[in-house]
Amino acid sequence: MPSLEQLEKLLAVDPGDAFLLYGMAQEHSKQGGHGKAVEFYDRCLAGDPAYCYAYYHKARSLESMGKRDDAVATLRAGLKAAKAASDSHAASEISAFLDELT
């Protein structure tokens, strides 16, 4: 995975690229910056609401921040998006995490 600095340079060229926004979120999350990660997951999902794994990882960050209810709401939205996209693998993972939290 490219560094945050590299991703920022790429985003300067294409600030709406969902893959880059997801990558930024993942890097922030990996470094413990869950609040910043959630901001990038939200930007990713605003650009591509079918980016199913962004819901899953956003919920992980929210849970890490002690925001369980927000994590559950995010997973429910992600499950709906995964079903709409016919992404059974994402739906399964999202559903398992949702079951864990509820």
Helix-helix angle 18-30:4-13, to 10 degrees:
160
DSSP state of 86: T
pTM above 0.85, yes or no: yes
Q: How far apart are CA 5 and CA 89, in angstroms?
A: 31
CATH at 49: 1.25.40.10
**Above 80 in pLDDT, residue 1?**
no
List pLDDT tens digits, range 32-87.
Answer: 999 999 999 999 999 999 999 999 999 999 999 999 999 999 999 999 999 999 99
In DSSP notation, 17-50 reads: -HHHHHHHHHHHHHTT-HHHHHHHHHHHHHH-TT
Backbone torsions φ then ψ of 17, nearest 5 degrees: -70, 110
List pLDDT tens digits, range 76-90.
Answer: 999 999 999 999 999
Give the residue numbers spanning the domain of 73: 4-101
**Above 90 in pLDDT, residue 4?**
no
Give the total number of structural domains in the chain. 1
